[in-house]
Amino acid sequence: MYSKEEGTPAAKLPNQIHGNTKKARYHQIMKLQQQVSKQNLEKKIKQEYEILIEDISFDGKYYIGRTMQDVPEIDGLVYIKTENSQDLNMVGKFKMCKVIGISNYDLIAEFIN
């Protein structure tokens, strides 16, 4: 969100947008973006991807990874369901997975045996 920065020409412009208006517009845009993201992610359900396993979830129920299409800190993650995600030997390896669902900006997958 834009905010005035002292010494810039924009900070001196009249009729500045009220903070609450900025927040409302931001939330409106984010709601639309979530819909777009959901539509894009739903297209990936039943697709198979090679996933780089990067971590284990805090509750130990999922491996966390990403596809080669996913940019760190920008794109969502892939959560791979597993019975025993305490196997740290999986971290750093590539595994084939099938997408079985979505959650907000992330994919839910399972290993392909």
pLDDT tens-digit profile of 28-84? Answer: 999 998 899 899 999 999 999 999 999 998 888 899 999 988 888 888 999 998 776
Q: Are residues 58 and 106 in the same domain?
A: yes
Same domain for 61 and 101? yes
Domain contains 96:
yes
Residue 76: inside a domain: yes
Q: Which residues form the domain of 67?
A: 48-111
| pLDDT at 111 (0 to 100) | 93
* 15 vs 94, residue with greater confidence: 94
Are residues 64 and 103 both part of a single domain?
yes
- Residues near 69 by Cβ (< 8 Å), separated by ≥ 6? 75
23 occurs within a structural domain: yes
pTM of the model: 0.76
Instruction: Give the pLDDT band (50/70/90) at residue 109.
Output: very high
Domain for residue 98, yes or no? yes
Are 28 and 62 in a shared domain?
no
Q: Is residue 15 domain-resident?
A: yes
Q: How far is CA 16 from CA 10, 20, 68, in A?
A: 9, 12, 42
The residue that leads in pLDDT, 9 or 100, is 100
Task: Provide the pLDDT for residue 29.
Answer: 93
- Verify that 53 and 107 share a domain, yes or no: yes
Cα 37 from Cα 108, distance rounded (Å): 14
56 and 18 in a common domain: no
How many structural domains are present in the chain?
Answer: 2
